[in-house]
Amino acid sequence: MDKNFLQSSLKDSLFTGLIALALFGPIVGLRTVAVNEALVVQPKWLVVALIVAFCAIGRFFINIYSFKKEQRRGEPSSLGKAISNFLDTKGSQIALGAIIFSVIFPFMPFADRYWMDIAIMMMTYIMLGWGLNIVIGLAGLLDLGYVAFYAVGAYSYALFAIHFGWSFWICLPLAGLFAGMFGILLGFPVLRLRGDYLAIVTLAFGEMIRILLLNWYTLTKGPDGLTGIPRPSFFGLPFKRYPDEGVETFHTFFGLEYSPMQRIIFLYYLILVLALITNFFTIKIRRLPVGRAWEALREDEIACKSLGVNPRNTKLTAFAVGAMFGGFAGSFFATRQAFISPESFTFIESAIIVAIVVLGGMGSQTGVVLSTIFLIGLIEVFRDFESYRMVAFGGAMVLIMIFRPKGILAKRKPTITMVKEK
């Protein structure tokens, strides 16, 4: 190995150790303990030394094995290359396998209540990721307020269902429609903005919606939230152990034993179907003129104008369509929880969804699934370690950015080809 290179790696890792010392020294090393009603500083230098050593040595290995080995940071690593080659060639088989697996998942022996809940949560994030992928991945509009549309969908579903008693299948499209309208509402003022400025305004929009929900007490009950949102029924058959007089339930209709799992499994299939609709819609619309215009707009807005593509309509449709799917996911969230409050729609949700899209590889549908499994899965695995959950989340992002700087799956397939696909 080159001597210079070793030397610079060593220097770099020592520097990393210094930064770690500066950060973790005060945070971890100095702990105040109450002794005889007085606060005493109790240093924990061993822990600090361990953390610093870990950072420095870790950095050294990253230097050797990832950054400087090939002297090309932008290039995917060999493992990443192998994975994306595999996914490229076997893409459709993998997708089919994944769909079959998700269909039979509830009947797996290990699929208990805990696993089903995680699966439903992941599916919701996958759907949100796919929805936001239209806005960020295809149209290139960095939207940091996506959770607003999720909230609009959830609240409009809840309000329609509570006040008018309409069924899930009527409220769902209405919630999507409402969210789509809010998408256009957000779209208009930000038409001229790009990049960072757009991100700031969308972020503010997300917060505005949340604060509106907090303060419009007469409509949304503010921080108390909305309770008693009707649970979904299986085409009119409710999932209840003791139904009202004369009402047939799911388990009596099919002659089954009552089990609370029936409702969970139904919810799982519901979100699976909604997510798959989002996916197939996106795949299809990408190949239509409007989808191609979205991508062209992401690439170069001025060139689009010179070719007579209307940037206003193109952006607004991207916002509206993305928001609509956010609204669908929101109404699913409302019916699943039966209770919603502004607490569920904070900025961190938007950030997680953006992270899923960006880390998955902008515009890649499979990438969204992989990064959701990776990120949400990690948060779940670290559930018992409370305060380290977000550390794990951040660590996962750092790892992906080191090894796959353009996202897990960065390869883009053309929407139309001259030669027939092999």
Partner 1 sequence: MSEKLLSVENLTMKFGGLIAIDDLSFSAMKDQITSIIGPNGAGKTTVFNCLTGFYKASSGSMFLNKDNKTLDLKKFSDFKVAQKAGVARTFQNIRLFPQMSVLENMMVAQHNKLMAASGFSLLGLINAPSFLRKEKEAKEISKYWLDIINLTNRADDNAGDLPYGDQRKLEIVRAMCIEPYLLCLDEPAAGLNAKESAELNKLLKFIQKEKKTGILLIEHDMSVVMGISDHVVVLNYGKKIFEGTAQETKKSPEVIEAYLGTEE
Q: Which residues bind partner 1 (CB under 8 A)?
A: 281, 284-285, 288-290, 292-293, 295-296, 299-300, 302-311, 412, 414-419
Closest to 364 in 3D by CA, of 86, 93, 133, 140: 133
Least separation in angstroms between CB 188 and partner 1: 17
State in angstroms the smallest separation of the CB of 297 from partner 1: 9
Shorter beta-carbon distance to partner 1: residue 158 or 293: 293
Q: How far is C-alpha 117 from the geometric centre of its chain's CA atoms?
A: 16
- For the record, the structure tokens of 341 come out as 């409050």
CA distances (Å), origin 19, targets 16, 145, 147, 187, 253: 5, 33, 35, 42, 65
Which among 345, 316, 328 has a CA at the least distance from the CA of 175?
A: 328
User: In terms of CB distance, is 41 or 416 closer to partner 1?
Assistant: 416
* Residue position matching structure tokens 């607004």: 316
Distance CA 31, CA 40 (A): 8
Nearest distance from residue 360's CB to partner 1, in Å? 17
Min CB(414)–partner 1 separation in Å: 4
Q: Closer CB to partner 1, residue 111 or residue 293?
A: 293
Residue 81 or residue 412: which is nearer to partner 1 going by CB? 412
Closest to partner 1 by CB, 1 vs 418, is 418
Q: Is the dihedral of CA 330, 333, 335, 340 positive or negative?
A: negative
Buried b (16+ CB within 10 A) or exposed e, 366-389: bbbbbbbebbbeebbebeeeeeeb
Shortest Å distance, C-beta 290 to partner 1? 5
The distance of closest approach from Cβ of residue 357 to partner 1 in the complex, given in angstroms and rounded to an integer, is 16
> Closer to partner 1 at the Cβ: 49 or 288?
288
Least distance between partner 1 and beta carbon 314 (Å):
9
| β-bridge pairing 226-227 and 38-43 | unpaired
Minimum CB distance to partner 1, residue 172 (Å): 19
Residue-wise DSSP of 65-123: IIITTSS-SSSPPHHHHHHHHHHHHSHHHHHHHHHHHHHHGGGSTT--HHHHHHHHHHH
Measured from the CB atom, the residue of 167 and 415 that comes closer to partner 1 is 415
Q: What is the dihedral of CA 120, 121, 126, 129, to 10 degrees?
A: 150
Kindly state the smallest distance separating residue 213's Cβ from partner 1, in Å. 32
Provide the token pair at 250: 């799911």
Q: How many other C-beta atoms lie within 10 A of the C-beta of residue 78?
A: 10
Q: Do the Cβ atoms of 212 and 155 come closer than 8 Å?
A: no
Shortest Cβ 318–partner 1 spacing (Å)? 12
Can you read off the two tokens belonging to residue 369? 């699934």
In this complex, which beta carbon is closest to partner 1, that of residue 293 or of residue 334?
293
Number of other residues whose CB lies within 10 A of the CB of residue 297: 21
Q: Which residues of 179-189 are buried (b: 16+ CB within 10 A; e: fewer)?
A: bbbbbebbbee
